[in-house]
Structure 1
Amino acid sequence: MEDVDVRKRRTMDVLLRAAEEVFRDRSIEDVTVEEIAERAGVAVGSIYNHFGSKAGLRAAVVERALEVDRSFIDMAFTPDRTPVQQLYAVAEQYLQFYLQYPEYFRMLAFPAEPGQYTAGRELSERMAKQIDAQNDRMVVAIQAAIDAGVARPVDAKKVAVVLLATWNGIISLNWRPDQLRRNESELRDLLETAADVVANGLLRSPLAGG
């Protein structure tokens, strides 16, 4: 006879996978528990038994996505790397996160509207805060490079935001349906190019008067 905990975990996993698909680009109020249950092949009651509510299931999906994202980014910030090497490594790990978990990437990089309900807005705010906390790790690396004299004085927070926004835009080229679509190798090359432009600058020397 199958262990109760194993059955519970299996049901939770299929519900999370179904929820990941339906919540990928839709707000919580646009999705019904019946739709999720049908997609998962389980009874509607399972959602309430394991997650308490639709909002609880949505929160569990987001938390799982954030946890996976953190695990990839952790691999970039190793003590054997210099701050600059860490920034290049973050770009690679972020790409790997997308390639292995595209639904999670879309959920975090291009979140759906939170909807009108308090639970949706609170979850959206919590997700933004945790992503911002992840971004702060890049801020620390950039500031460390500045303090070491490797990088010129800049607003580290703004540069980190620029990097993340640039990476999101580049990676999103992978799902374009037209000639602008880029494959994995091309994405990696573009990410490295973006990092090089930020790290080394585009102009050979500053232009007087802008």
Structure 2
Amino acid sequence: MPSEKPSGAAVRGARRREQTKAAILDAAERLMADLPAESVRVEDVAEISSISVASIYVHFGNKDGLIAAVLERLLLAASDTLAAACSVAGEPIDQVAAVGQTYLALLLERPALAVHIILSGMQPPVTEIDRLVSQRLEDLRKQFEDRIQASVDAGQLQALDARSLSLFLFGAWHGMATLAHRRDDVAPTVEEVTAAVRLASRAMGIGFRPDAV
């Protein structure tokens, strides 16, 4: 017997719940762009999202559940971004360049991601949130390492240690994003970030070519 389709009211209710959750997550992410997770207050999330504190607890259980959901969403966005860059048409070396540019663009667009990737590594992982960030970040770096290794195997880069290069470039992207999110004279402009990425990509392409001296 075929299962019954959900009623229109049920569909609308589910849609409203998803919209409410998204609004709460958006508000929490805004706060997390400026604050460490432990300093985020549910009351402030409620004020920004115009959603009651009680409703936030209904959807996420507690503050830790909310913070974990924000980080999960950010890390999923990062994973999807890298997966899309890795699937672009072309040679593996083209995918390496695409991964770098798109991942840095995401770090600039979603400051909470850059902030909490940096902060989460200052102490050994203790909570489930810490372990989640640590594991997902390593998964992202490994995806990039695999693209570098594919470029080496295809003869498009010199024989080099793909892990070491992925660590260096991953650190460079996070460092550039951290600089860009500063609120003082040290912060580069968007144009300067773009120029720096292009220059670094060109230098890497020339320096690591198989025929480079």
TM-score higher than 0.5 here? yes
Distance 1:115 1:158, change over 3 A: closer
Give the aligned partner of residue 119 of structure 2: 111
170, 173, 182: which is aligned to 2:176?
A: 170
Give the aligned partner of residue 124 of structure 1: 130
How far did residue 117 of structure 1 move? 10
1:160 and 2:166 matched: yes
Give the aligned partner of residue 20 of structure 2: 11
Distance 1:113 1:140, change over 3 A: closer
Distance 1:138 1:40, change over 3 A: same
1:148 and 2:157 matched: no
Contact kept in structure 2, 1:72 and 1:93, CA below 8 Å: yes
Alignment RMSD, CA only? Answer: 2.8
30, 54, 57: which is aligned to 2:63?
A: 54
Query: Aligned runs of 1:1-210 on 2, under 5 Å?
Result: 3-78=12-87, 80-108=89-117, 110-111=118-119, 121-201=127-207, 205=213
Contact kept in structure 2, 1:170 and 1:191, CA below 8 Å: no
Contact kept in structure 2, 1:75 and 1:93, CA below 8 Å: no
Distance 1:173 1:113, change over 3 A: closer
Distance between the aligned counterparts of 2:37 and 2:182, measured in 1? 25
Give the AA of the match of 1:51. F
Contact kept in structure 2, 1:25 and 1:112, CA below 8 Å: no
How far did residue 156 of structure 1 move? 0.9
Contact kept in structure 1, 2:121 and 2:134, CA below 8 Å: no
Question: What is the DSSP-based 3-state SS (H/G/I as helix, E as strand, rest coil) of the residue aligned with 1:85?
Answer: helix
More deviation in 24-33 or 155-164?
24-33
Unaligned regions of 5+ residues in structure 2, if any? 1-8
Question: What is the DSSP-based 3-state SS (H/G/I as helix, E as strand, rest coil) of the residue aligned with 1:152?
Answer: coil
Contact kept in structure 1, 2:93 and 2:151, CA below 8 Å: yes
Superposed CA deviations along residues 48-72 of structure 1, whole A, max 9, x for unmatched, are 2101111111111011111211222
Distance between the aligned counterparts of 2:104 and 2:125, measured in 1? 33
Contact kept in structure 2, 1:29 and 1:115, CA below 8 Å: no
How far did residue 163 of structure 1 move? 0.5
Give the AA of the match of 2:82. I
Q: TM-score, normalised by structure 2?
A: 0.79
Contact kept in structure 1, 2:179 and 2:186, CA below 8 Å: yes
Give the AA of the match of 1:36. V
Distance between the aligned counterparts of 1:193 and 1:126, measured in 2? 33
Q: TM-score, normalised by structure 1?
A: 0.80
